[in-house]
Amino acid sequence: MKSIKPGRGPSMMGGLGSIFAGVFGVIWTMAAVQMGAGIFALFGVVFILFAVLQAVYQFKNATGENRYSEFDITEDGEEPDPLEKRMAPPSSPAEENKEPGGGFCPYCGAPAEKDYDFCRRCGKKLP
């Protein structure tokens, strides 16, 4: 399966851009405090926080072995996609124990074997 991943160059540039944004946030905050505009200083603090988070993400993608998916297309053998493990649907014990060919009630979602006419949980007729 192909994964779309950010290139290491663009991620490094994004990380450097985030550092510059953080410096701008510091300058903004200092200027707002000196002018006495207290509420506007909070905008600078939020700006710095987002810049730090974005820089961490970008530098991790630029230097990490397994990058998160976004832009470049890679093959399975090149590197795994860390989001596949996180985004895989959880398997429930009901799914593991039911007979093949069964399904779920469209009304309440309870597992139903293929030979059921009515749902065991809600009692409605199954299609």
What pLDDT shows up at residue 52?
A: 93
Q: What is the DSSP letter of 103?
A: E
pLDDT digits (tens, 9 = 90+) for 65-119: 766 655 555 566 666 656 566 666 655 544 444 444 567 888 888 888 878 888 8
Q: Are residues 80 and 25 in the same domain?
A: yes
Q: Structural domain of residue 36, as residue ranges? A: 3-87
What is the total count of domains within the chain? Answer: 2
What pLDDT shows up at residue 122?
A: 86
Q: Are residues 22 and 63 in the same domain?
A: yes
Q: Between 105 and 7, where is the model more confident?
A: 105
Q: Are residues 20 and 55 in the same domain?
A: yes
pLDDT digits (tens, 9 = 90+) for 16-64: 899 999 999 999 899 998 988 878 888 888 889 999 999 988 888 777 7
Q: Kindly give, in sequence order, each residue whose CB lies less than 8 Å from that of residue 121, ignoring residues fewer than 6 positions away.
A: 105, 108, 110
What pLDDT shows up at residue 67?
A: 64
Q: Are residues 97 and 123 in the same domain?
A: yes
Q: Could you write out the DSSP letters of every residue in 1-42?
A: --EEE--HHHHHHHHHHHHHHHHHHHHHHHHHHHHT-HHHHH
Q: Are residues 42 and 96 in the same domain?
A: no
